[in-house]
Amino acid sequence: MPERERSIRVEAVVLRHSDWGEADRLLVLFTKERGKARALAKGVRKMHSRKAGHLEPFTRVSLQMAQGRDLWIITQAETIESYLRIREDLVRTAYASYVMELVERFTYEDGVSTPLYQLVNETLKRVDSEADPFLAARFYEIQLLDLVGFRPQLVHCVGCRAEIMPRDQFFDAGMGGALCPDCGVKSTTSRSVSMQALKFLRHLQRSNYKEAARAQIPAGIQRELEALLQWYISYLLERNLNSPEFLQKVRRMEPDNGNYLTGK
């Protein structure tokens, strides 16, 4: 086995952190160079820690890390992007938490993916800056599924291979795609999907973000898409996600929560 370097510089997004010992924090990072990694930030919970502000969740950072016995130890940290609006707005915080949760769940340590790293950062920027982060979140889900090998098949029926026609259909989580009505009624791992929702899913799958963002998605279809994708993703991960519930709670709290649903 090659000897691991003693000290490395990486660029990373902080996925989450938890308290560790008296004054330290354990960070889960998604690094550009090494995929997911865990690192210890020593003394950051002490007053006047200079590193602390750079190591909050969602922050994009440049880090110098030294090889510890079991974990990397962060020796220097500089912020590249702090995404202030994500921090100041609870709905954006909830969306960003969802982005972070999916990266953590779909990646593994030392699994490098430059396209995914790029997608995560572009998505954080959109969640920080778009009037309504809804589309950024759906685009992220579809593109992430593609990058991690679960691209849903939306053109041909995953049961009988027949071309999916423009009408209401089914979506099968177990088989990973659209089912025609004949196959759909026989499946136990499917749910119905409207023709319109399916049309937007296809649009998200084949467009770049700029093209995708032009779509005017009615509020009812937005809710259908969100529910469908989260149901499929939860199925793939074999457990429920935590952050969608957080987003639902925040939406109920916000006086103008309707804005986030309708995009107005």
Q: Which is nearer to Zn ion, 160 or 237 (by Cβ)? A: 160
DSSP E strands: which ranges in the chain? 7-20, 24-31, 35-41, 60-67, 72-81, 169-172, 177-179, 190-193
Is there a contact between 4 and 71 (Cβ–Cβ < 8 Å)? no
Q: Which is nearer to Zn ion, 15 or 158 (by Cβ)? A: 158
Shortest gap between Cβ of 141 and Zn ion (angstroms)?
24
Shortest gap between Cβ of 178 and Zn ion (angstroms)?
9
Q: Which is nearer to Zn ion, 125 or 202 (by Cβ)? A: 202
* Residue 61 to residues 41, 65, 119, 120, Cα–Cα distance (Å): 13, 12, 16, 13
Q: Residues in the site for Zn ion, rule: CB under 5 A?
A: 157, 159-160, 180, 183
Indicate the SS3 state at residue 181.
helix
Amino acid found at 191: R
Angle at 181 between CA 152 and CA 239, to 5 degrees: 45
Shortest gap between Cβ of 163 and Zn ion (angstroms)?
10
Determine the Cα–Cα distance for residues 121 and 99; give it in Å rounded to an integer: 10
Q: Which is nearer to Zn ion, 152 or 159 (by Cβ)? A: 159
Shortest gap between Cβ of 229 and Zn ion (angstroms)?
21
Q: Which is nearer to Zn ion, 190 or 222 (by Cβ)? A: 190
Shortest gap between Cβ of 182 and Zn ion (angstroms)?
5
Determine the Cα–Cα distance for residues 113 and 216; give it in Å rounded to an integer: 31
